[in-house]
């Protein structure tokens, strides 16, 4: 009986390791179950984060302090803050309210804006949408 058990254990060990050039058994799990075949491809349950996760849009509501049409930037300050925030804009930036253009903001210093943006790095924010609150 011990010999039979020994042969069975030996055959199981042999059956788990394919010989060079032999395909692994499709009914058996991979040798390393923690490594998925899609490793590094941005698994939503963990692993490498995808590029879209890093580019999440943020929103800020603040008062307009400056428009620089030559540099294509607008500067705002949040209520109670002492630091200004600067945002770049381009032709793809949507402007809602006012005359629907960033250039139209030039005479509206102090207006409340709601800016949706992507933070490209700490000091480089690209506005995708600017909403102008109408003052009454």
d(C-alpha 61, C-alpha 64), whole Å? 10
Q: Using one digit for the tens of pLDDT, what is the confidence trace for 56-74?
A: 899 999 999 999 999 999 9
Q: Using one digit for the tens of pLDDT, what is the confidence trace for 25-51?
A: 555 555 554 544 444 444 444 444 444
Q: What pLDDT is stored for residue 15 in this prediction?
A: 52
Average pLDDT over residues 2-26: 56
Domains of the chain by range and CATH?
57-132 (2.40.50.320)
């Amino acid at each position: 009986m011990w010999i039979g058990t020994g042969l069975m254990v030996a055959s199981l060990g042999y059956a788990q390791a394919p010989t060079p050039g032999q395909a692994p058994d499709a009914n058996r799990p991979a040798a390393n179950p923690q490594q998925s075949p899609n490793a590094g491809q941005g698994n939503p349950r963990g692993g490498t984060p995808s590029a879209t996760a890093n580019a999440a849009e943020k929103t800020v509501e603040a008062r307009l302090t400056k428009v620089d049409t030559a540099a294509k930037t607008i500067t705002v300050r949040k209520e109670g803050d002492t630091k200004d925030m600067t945002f770049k804009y381009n032709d793809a930036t949507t402007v809602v309210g006012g005359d629907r253009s960033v250039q139209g903001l030039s005479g509206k210093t102090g207006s409340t804006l709601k800016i949706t943006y992507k933070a490209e790095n700490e000091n480089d924010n690209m506005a995708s949408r600017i909403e102008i609150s109408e003052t009454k």
